[in-house]
């Protein structure tokens, strides 16, 4: 999974198909991510001291990672990502579109050997 928080992703399946949003939280074990403004549900809350009025809260729920694609910052299109070793020895993710191939940020720093 080559996603990080604050990445812009596009939903490719489900009710919110075509919607873009920022990644808020990643659950690596469950394979789910929470995207801003996507898969919103109502949670009914009883009156309490913390929430004196009660009512319905509107919140985002997680979606499967397989239902999103990362949006490339250079070509501004949803794309699959790959990993490659950069010239300095660090590992980076990149856009898999033929015409683009832009770097999308570093995954791991370069290894220094003694």
Q: Is the pLDDT of residue 114 over 60?
A: no
What pLDDT is recorded for position 1?
66
pLDDT in tens, 65-105: 999 999 998 889 999 988 998 888 889 999 888 888 888 88
Query: CA-CA distances (angstroms) from residue 19 to 9, 67, 80, 84?
Result: 8, 11, 17, 29
The mean predicted confidence, pLDDT, of the chain is 90
Q: Taking the domain 1-71, which CATH number applies?
A: 2.30.30.30
Is the pLDDT confidence value at 37 over 70?
yes
Where in the sequence of the chain do the CATH 2.30.30.30 domains occur? 1-71
Q: How confident is the model at residue 40 (pLDDT cuts 50, 70, 90)?
A: very high
CA distances from 8 to 15, 37, 69, 92, 104 (A): 18, 12, 9, 17, 11
pLDDT band at 7 (very low <50, low <70, confident <90, very high): very high
């Amino acid at each position: 999974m080559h996603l990080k928080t604050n990445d812009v992703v596009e939903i490719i399946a489900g009710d919110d198909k075509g919607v873009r949003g920022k990644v808020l939280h990643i659950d690596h074990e469950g394979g789910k991510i929470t995207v801003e403004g996507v898969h919103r549900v109502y949670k009914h809350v009883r009156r309490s001291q913390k929430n004196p009025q009660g009512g319905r809260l509107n919140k985002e729920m997680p979606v499967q990672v397989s239902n999103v694609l990362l949006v490339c910052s250079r070509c501004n299109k949803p794309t699959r990502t790959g990993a490659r070793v950069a010239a300095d020895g660090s590992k980076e993710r990149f856009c898999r579109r033929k015409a683009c191939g832009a770097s999308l940020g570093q995954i791991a720093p370069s290894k220094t050997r003694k």
